Structure 1
Amino acid sequence: MQGLEEYRLMLPVALDNGVSPVEVKEVVYQAVDYLGLGRVMPFFKVTNTILLARGEKLPLPKQATTMMEDRLEKGEETQMRLFGPQMKDFAKKGTINKWLVDNCFGDYYTRKGLSDKEREMITFCYLAVQGVCEPQLLAHAKTNVGLGNDQQFLTKIVLANVPFIGYPRSLNAINVINQVK
């Protein structure tokens, strides 16, 4: 929602309440594929400024687990593990599909610092906040449920975020959650 000022206020609170600097950076990295680098870059800058002001040494320890040579393969493995065997050869269906597999799933989902369960919850939030992403939101809601973030949990996440995303997008997200079988 481009809530940079709210983020600037809430990030220290999160850090004071047990969210690690690595987890914070991973949440911001996770945003790139769903919100776009242009919208996320200001959040990287604020994150780095706050972490440095708190005495953190940057860069943080490396979390990447793939290289250019294996990111497509690792991305497909990750996508199939999360969404099922029907994702086999998804990358072959077009250029953007390949980018989704090697970049989104190969570069980001394979990183250390957050679990699959945490990444899927965060992805669900990024999609819900945008609106008009209901097909993707439903796919990620189903994956969340499969990972143990059940419908009740996802509903609580949406309700906690109503002040940040507003009622229309919150209602749409609840509707999608209710479609999960």
Structure 2
Amino acid sequence: MLDDNEIIEIISEYDLELKNTDPELVEIIDNLICVDLKDEYMKLSYDERMIVILTTLITNQSVDLYEKLLTQALRNGFKPVIIKEMLYQTIVYVGLSKVYEFIDITNDIFDENGVDVPLPGQSITTNKTRKNEGYTIQADHYGKDWLDMKIKSTPDNQKQLWDYISAFGFGDIYTRGGISQKQRELITLAVLVSLRGCEDQLEIHMRGNLKVGNDENKIIAVLMILIPYIGFPRIHNALKILNKITI
């Protein structure tokens, strides 16, 4: 098994066809990753890098690239349970319509690589506990005073949205086993950075990342390694939000 310092996600290793048809592009992108961004990559573990990159590919509906990178990741020791939890959590932010196909793709890749499904269950809540458990995680990550203020300031005929967020988004998903809360906040960070029009939510979850222990330097490294996948403008926007809450 290779260690983190020996694994870099470069196109020339996972897309041989593109290397043959567009060798100059492959060289340019590989240089960006291996030379310009190498120090940023090394600030993150392999699991952290694959979590945010694969989440970004799902969010942007990059089916072919997802297939190639997921296959490589499995062969490099990326755990299937992390992949499944990443998929399930992404539904909260982009919806089932965008994740559904990736679940099938993932199961096919698992089958090709000898991974049996279903994986062991990770749910720990019940219908009676899911809302309260979800509220507790929200309050811990983003602050009870802030959360209660947001709920109180919501019009009465819309307050049920917060029940859904607590019960489904956090009670059903964030409470699950398989990955840590630090990893879960990185998943959400990657989704929101990749989406348009979610700046308010991105600020909330940047604060959540800091609260659970993903420090400023780790957040910056995540943003930088996503440059090849989502371009510079969204990274500029995300850094502006990070600077707002840390400077």
Task: Note if contact 1:64-1:107 (Cα within 8 Å) is conserved in structure 2.
Answer: yes
Q: Map residues 54-65 of structure 1 onto 2, 5 A cutoff.
A: 54-65=113-124
Per-residue deviation, 1:89: 8.4
Q: Does 1:139 align with 2:204?
A: yes
Q: Displacement of 1:171 after TM fit?
A: 1.3
The one-letter amino acid paired with 1:108 is I
Normalised to the residue count of structure 1, the TM-score between the two structures is: 0.94
Larger Rg: 2
In the TM superposition, 1:39-58 aligns within 5 A as 39-58=98-117
Change (3 A) 1:14 1:24: same
Q: Structure 1 residues 72, 78: CA separation in 2 closer, same or farther (over 3 Å shift)? A: same
Q: Does 1:157 align with 2:222?
A: yes
For 2:95, the equivalent position in structure 1 comes to 36
CA distance in structure 1 between the partners assigned to 2:164 and 2:200 by the alignment: 19
Which among 234, 239, 245 is matched to residue 169 of structure 1?
234
Matches within 5 A, 1:12-161: 12-86=71-145, 87-88=147-148, 93=154, 94-161=159-226
* Count of aligned pairs: 181
Aligned equivalents of 2:239 and 2:142: distance in 1?
21
Q: Give the superposition deviation at 1:3.
A: 0.8
> In 2, Cα distance between the equivalents of 1:102 and 1:168?
34
Which structure has more RCO (C-alpha within 8 Å, separation ≥ 6)?
Answer: 2
Counterpart-to-counterpart distance in 1, 2:245 and 2:177: 28
Q: Secondary structure at the match of 1:180?
A: helix
Check the 8 A contact 1:138/1:177 in 2, yes or no: yes
Identity %: 35
Separation in 2, partners of 1:53, 1:44: 14
- SS of the counterpart of 1:26? helix
For the structure 1 residues 91 and 100, does the alpha-carbon distance in structure 2 shift closer, same or farther, using more than 3 Å as the test? farther
CA-CA distance at 1:81 after TM superposition: 1.4
Q: What's the Cα RMSD here?
A: 1.5
